[in-house]
């Protein structure tokens, strides 16, 4: 099966559980299981290639300029982790089907689970670090939804937020580290990066990249000092805990260290950072786990401890350490998933996870007792179980590891951690299942073994624990293949064998000491527990909460004075910052001498410039008069249009003129709801300050423009490329239009989307106003001056109806000629919009709207859809998005003419512009309704006799 399909199946399958929720729990669980099974079977079809040492790859270029390629890679390491994710995922799905209560939304749960599963599979199969980062963040988001699934629990919501915060911050660090690695190598493909060990480690940015990447891995895999988030994720349903702790979320950081092992390991920095963090985490997690009374909390800290063990092995940088780490990942996944599911069974049947309220359950829950005991003894490192084998290998590696002290220090600390690991395992068995037989009524709920739906999934894992422990040769070759993928070469895999008996060697004595010491510690649990409770110690959660609270406080102190909703303050800060930075760059940079002469300026140009300046200054000085300000804005726009004509830019001039007409009309409607004059809101000092800042910004802009216009460009302007390729590349002689619909078509596509969104937002605001308390004020508002007696002048009505078809024909003509002459979809859309707006103005809103039967929302959507489909069509011809094509055809009796796909894109632009303008007009018109008038009427249609003066005896309604 294709690697893309394996990754895509969980994401596509995530659509099904929610849709099938009404079909029943069995259907929801069945379809989720089927989707995961299909992905698992597809993965297994690649097993022969992996066993033969091949690397299966698939991919295509997405944004090659950015190095973002959608490439997937399946080697031994990726296959190993994908097998754990999908294989244990099948058991978790089957378990969750019977674990979740009837009031739990199973469709929602399995949707989140499949999203998380797909993100994890994407991580382990990614061959591009940027793609890996996308999936990495998706795991954080989807795990947030899973951990906080029980939204009614405060602990669940807080645990989800904590996990998202810690892993999210680590993800940001990981992004930085991966970008550095990609820049060092010159590629973001992992298959390329993993071949450049010397180049990466010789670069001065190796250490910063290493630290950033390890931050991402440590936060994800809960390594010290980021270990605290993982136990608080226990508020999630037990199936989530079992999945996250055994095969997925927390293993992502381990996978990342293993994947990057060939290029990052082998240096002192890697050895000291990774080994130290792993050793501390192993011991700290084991000690804390012993004194936890909640079953899931005990198992959570045991996960932290074992993740530290694996991290410590990877940190040694030796081939045998990597071999032992891969084997322990397999073992840990089996016994830890079984233990979590067993804890869930106990909680499900006894209604408690408090070990102090349990004991003697072996008599009432014999099946659960056998499964949990096998898994716990494996975790403790008891012979003939798989945990014993990998623990022996760990102790063997630690025997030869020297870190910060004498030779015996690391072996002693490793034995100490294993001792406490054995102690909490023995406590889990002894305090939960052993002890005197008790009546079922003495528990919070009457305990008994559940149906096979709950105990069969962990039983399968318990069987694997025994099989691997008794016959390790069954998995030895596969573990070596995985190790070869970690090391980067199968030739480097150590010639070691996984055996139960290695003779009377030091690791055996260390293991015996750990087991015996664990029994002794357990026998002293009560006094040790009292000492533990009485000993003051920092609480990681409290520290985290205090740090978050401090960040929030300082954020408020910083943001409240700045982000207060005053646009003038935002503009002031931005203008001062830009001018200051620009001035610094100007005085410290190298400004070349003037190389061009100022062109001669005639009196016509000077007159236009004076009018433009006068209108701009008048607008600033007389802004309090709304109508006058609008007139001055129109003058400014007109002079800009004249400037475009002078500079031989007819397209821009036509666009500017039509935009001015449309915006002035719409702004006139908007002014209808505002006071005629703006009160003075600023003090003299503030206005003086604003004048100074605005003047400085204007002078800075003028200086920058002067510099660029009178000096030769450092590089050839891009206009030369556009002029040279407009016709042969886009099929049009109008360079501006070809740029808009071809060379920069993606920009135009984004612009029409923004334009449509703006119109929809105006409509949404109108709806909010009309459905709220403002509606009454609008309906009862009366004008401060009498309206004209002739609301629909006959001459205007006749004229607009006569010129309507003419304007439509002109718009059609402008649209068709746009590819080779000034025009195009945007200008044509504005021209047609003006014609329609004139109909509304002349004949009233009701008359015009009754004759236009299509919704303007649909016009906007149709335009964006046509433009988007035109761009997608290029993919079918192996061309980039929005690449246009053209040809010439001859249809008798017409002359030969051009057909270009850009015309379809331009049609989408045309429809989006018309729809946005008309939806805005309709929104303003609906706001302008008056009292005594039907909601469907427009103010232009109101009988003047119904309106009264504000101070008249009748008063306003």
Q: Is residue 278 very low, low, confident or very high in pLDDT (cuts 50, 70, 90)?
A: very high
Helix/strand/coil (H/E/C) assignment for every residue in 550-574? HHHHHHHHHHHHHCCCCHHHHHHHH
The whole-number pLDDT of residue 778 equals 63
> Which positions ≥6 away from 823 have C-beta within 8 Å?
651, 654, 734, 737, 813, 814, 815, 816, 817
My answer on whether omega of the bond before 339 falls inside 30° of 0, hence cis, is no
Of 501, 518, 534, the one marking the end of a domain is: 534
For the packed helices 106-125 and 3-13, what is the interaxial angle rounded to 10 degrees?
Answer: 160
pLDDT digits (tens, 9 = 90+) for 546-587: 888 898 888 888 887 777 777 888 888 889 999 999 888 888
Name the range with the highest mean pLDDT among 83-87, 101-105, 444-448, 773-777. 83-87
Percent of residues, the chain, with pLDDT higher than 90: 34
- Judged against a pLDDT cut of 50, whether residue 310 lies above it is answered with yes
The whole-number pLDDT of residue 623 equals 79
The whole-number pLDDT of residue 771 equals 73
Torsion of CA 136, 138, 143, 145, to 10 degrees: 160
Q: Strand pairing partners for 59?
A: 71
Answer positive or negative: Cα dihedral of 489, 494, 495, 496: negative
Residue 242 lies in a domain: no
Which residue would you say has higher pLDDT here, 269 or 773?
269
Q: Angle at Cα 156 formed by Cα 30 and Cα 112, nearest 5°?
A: 30
The three-state secondary structure class of 57 is strand
What is the DSSP pairing of strand 897-900 with strand 886-889? antiparallel
The three-state secondary structure class of 467 is helix
Residue 743 contacts residue 722 (beta carbons within 8 Å) = yes
The whole-number pLDDT of residue 571 equals 86
The whole-number pLDDT of residue 333 equals 92
Residue 501 lies in a domain: yes
Residue 921 lies in a domain: yes
pLDDT digits (tens, 9 = 90+) for 685-695: 888 888 899 89
Residue 644 lies in a domain: no
pLDDT digits (tens, 9 = 90+) for 172-202: 999 999 999 999 998 888 989 999 989 999 9
Residue 352 lies in a domain: yes
Q: Which structural domain range is residue 870 located in?
A: 734-957
The whole-number pLDDT of residue 787 equals 60
The whole-number pLDDT of residue 135 equals 93
Q: Is residue 784 very low, low, confident or very high in pLDDT (cuts 50, 70, 90)?
A: low
What is the Rg, in whole angstroms, of the alpha carbon atoms belonging to the chain? 36
Residue 748's H or E segment, with its range, is helix 745-770
From residue 790, give the alpha-carbon distance in Å to each of 12, 470, 943.
Answer: 62, 100, 10
Matching residue, tokens 């074992």: 306
Q: In 10 A of CB 851, how many CB atoms?
A: 9
pLDDT digits (tens, 9 = 90+) for 597-622: 888 888 888 888 888 889 888 888 88
pLDDT digits (tens, 9 = 90+) for 481-490: 999 999 887 6
Of 495, 513, 534, the one marking the end of a domain is: 534
Which residue would you say has higher pLDDT here, 838 or 219?
219
Task: Please give the average per-residue pLDDT across 265-272, as a whole number.
Answer: 91
Residue 310 lies in a domain: yes
Task: Please give the average per-residue pLDDT across 813-841, as a whole number.
Answer: 86
Residue 322's H or E segment, with its range, is helix 319-350
Residue 796 lies in a domain: yes
Of 534, 559, 577, the one marking the end of a domain is: 534
Total tally of structural domains belonging to the chain: 2
pLDDT digits (tens, 9 = 90+) for 730-766: 788 888 888 888 888 888 889 999 999 999 888 888 8
Among the listed ranges 376-390, 430-444, 457-471, which one has the minimum average pLDDT value?
Answer: 430-444
Residue 158 lies in a domain: no
Task: Please give the average per-residue pLDDT across 357-363, as a whole number.
Answer: 87
């Amino acid at each position: 099966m294709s690697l893309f399909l394996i990754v895509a199946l969980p994401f596509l399958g995530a659509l099904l559980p929610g849709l099938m929720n009404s079909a029943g729990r069995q259907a929801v669980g069945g379809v989720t299981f089927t989707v995961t099974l299909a992905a698992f079977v597809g993965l297994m079809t690649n097993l022969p290639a992996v066993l033969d040492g091949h690397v299966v790859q698939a991919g295509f270029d997405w944004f090659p300029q950015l190095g973002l390629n959608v490439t997937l890679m399946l080697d031994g390491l990726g296959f190993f982790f994908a097998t754990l994710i999908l294989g244990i995922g099948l058991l978790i799905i089957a378990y969750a089907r019977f674990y979740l209560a009837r009031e739990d939304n199973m469709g929602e749960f399995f949707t989140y689970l499949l999203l998380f599963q797909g993100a994890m599979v994407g991580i382990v199969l990614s061959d591009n670090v940027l793609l890996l980062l996308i999936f990495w963040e998706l795991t954080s988001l989807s795990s947030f939804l899973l951990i906080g699934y029980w939204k009614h629990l405060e602990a669940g919501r807080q645990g989800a937020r904590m996990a998202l915060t810690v892993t999210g911050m680590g993800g940001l660090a990981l992004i930085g580290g991966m970008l550095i690695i990609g820049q060092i190598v010159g590629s973001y493909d992992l298959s390329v990066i993993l071949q450049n060990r010397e180049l990466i480690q010789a670069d001065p940015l190796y250490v910063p990249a290493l630290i950033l990447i390890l931050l991402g891995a440590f936060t994800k895999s809960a390594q010290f000092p980021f270990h605290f988030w993982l136990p608080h994720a226990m508020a999630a349903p037990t199936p989530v805990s079992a999945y996250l702790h055994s095969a997925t979320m927390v293993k992502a950081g381990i996978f990342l260290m293993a994947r990057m092992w060939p290029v990052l390991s082998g240096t002192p920095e890697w050895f000291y950072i990774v080994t130290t963090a792993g050793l501390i985490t192993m011991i700290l997690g084991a000690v804390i786990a012993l004194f936890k009374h909640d079953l899931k909390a005990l198992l959570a800290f045991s996960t932290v401890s074992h993740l530290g063990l694996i991290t410590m092995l990877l940190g040694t940088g030796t081939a045998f350490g990597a071999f032992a780490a891969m084997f322990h990942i397999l073992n840990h996944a089996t016994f830890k998933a079984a233990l979590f599911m067993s804890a869930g069974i106990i909680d499900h049947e006894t209604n408690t996870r408090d070990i102090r309220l349990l004991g003697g359950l072996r008599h009432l829950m014999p099946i659960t007792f056998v499964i949990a005991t096998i898994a716990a003894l494996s975790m403790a490192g008891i012979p003939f179980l798989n945990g014993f084998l990998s623990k022996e290998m760990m102790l063997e590696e630690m025997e030869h590891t020297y870190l910060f002290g004498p030779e015996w220090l690391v072996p002693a600390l490793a034995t100490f951690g294993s001792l406490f690991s054995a102690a909490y395992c023995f406590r889990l068995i002894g305090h939960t299942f052993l002890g005197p037989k008790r009546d079922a009524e003495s528990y919070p709920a009457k305990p008994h073994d559940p149906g096979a739906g709950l105990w069969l999934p962990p039983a399968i894992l318990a069987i694997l624990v025994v099989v691997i422990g008794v016959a390790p040769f069954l998995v030895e070759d596969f573990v070596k293949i995985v190790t070869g993928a970690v090391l980067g070469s199968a030739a480097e895999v150590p010639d070691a064998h996984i055996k139960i008996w290695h003779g009377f060697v030091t690791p055996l004595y260390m293991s015996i000491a750990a087991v015996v010491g664990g029994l002794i510690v357990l026998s002293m649990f009560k006094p040790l527990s009292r000492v533990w409770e009485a000993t003051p110690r920092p609480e990681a959660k409290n520290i985290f909460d205090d740090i978050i609270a401090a960040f929030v406080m300082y954020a408020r102190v910083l943001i409240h004075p700045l982000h207060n909703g005053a646009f003038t303050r935002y503009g002031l800060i931005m203008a001062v910052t830009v001018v200051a930075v620009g001035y610094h760059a100007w005085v410290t940079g190298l400004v070349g001498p003037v190389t061009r002469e100022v062109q001669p300026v005639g009196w016509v140009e000077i007159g236009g410039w004076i009018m433009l300046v006068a209108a701009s200054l008048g607008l600033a000085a007389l802004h309090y008069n709304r109508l006058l300000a609008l007139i001055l804005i129109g003058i400014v726009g007109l002079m800009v249009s004249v400037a475009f004509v002078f500079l031989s830019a007819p397209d821009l001039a036509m666009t500017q003129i039509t935009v001015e007409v449309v915006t002035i009309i719409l702004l006139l409607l908007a002014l209808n709801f505002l006071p005629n004059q703006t009160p003075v809101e600023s003090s003299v000092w503030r206005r003086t300050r604003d004048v100074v800042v605005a003047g400085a910004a204007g002078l800075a802009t003028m200086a920058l423009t002067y510099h660029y216009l009178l000096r030769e460009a450092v590089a050839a302007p891009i206009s030369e490329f556009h002029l040279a390729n407009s016709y042969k590349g886009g099929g049009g002689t109008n360079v501006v239009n070809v740029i808009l619909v071809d060379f920069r078509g993606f920009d135009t596509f984004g612009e029409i989307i923004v334009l449509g969104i703006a119109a929809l937002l105006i409509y949404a605001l109108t709806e909010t106003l009309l459905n709220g308390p403002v509606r009454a004020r609008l309906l009862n508002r009366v004008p401060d001056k009498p309206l004209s007696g002739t609301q629909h002048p006959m001459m205007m009505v006749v004229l607009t109806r006569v010129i309507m078809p003419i304007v439509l024909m002109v718009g059609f003509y402008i649209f068709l000629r746009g590819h080779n002459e000034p025009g195009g979809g945007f200008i044509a859309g504005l021209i047609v919009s003006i014609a329609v707006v004139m109909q509304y103005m002349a004949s009233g809103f009701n008359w015009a709207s009754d004759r236009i039967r299509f919704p303007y929302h649909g016009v906007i959507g149709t335009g964006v859809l046509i433009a988007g489909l035109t761009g997608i069509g290029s993919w079918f011809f192996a061309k980039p998005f929005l690449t246009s094509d053209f040809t010439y055809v001859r249809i008798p009796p017409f002359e030969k003419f051009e057909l270009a796909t850009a015309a379809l894109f331009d049609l989408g632009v045309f429809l989006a512009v018309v729809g946005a303008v008309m939806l805005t007009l309709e929104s303003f018109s609906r706001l302008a309704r008056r009292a005594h008038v039907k909601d469907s009427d427009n103010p232009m249609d109101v009988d003047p006799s119904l309106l009264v003066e504000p101070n008249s005896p009748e008063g306003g309604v």
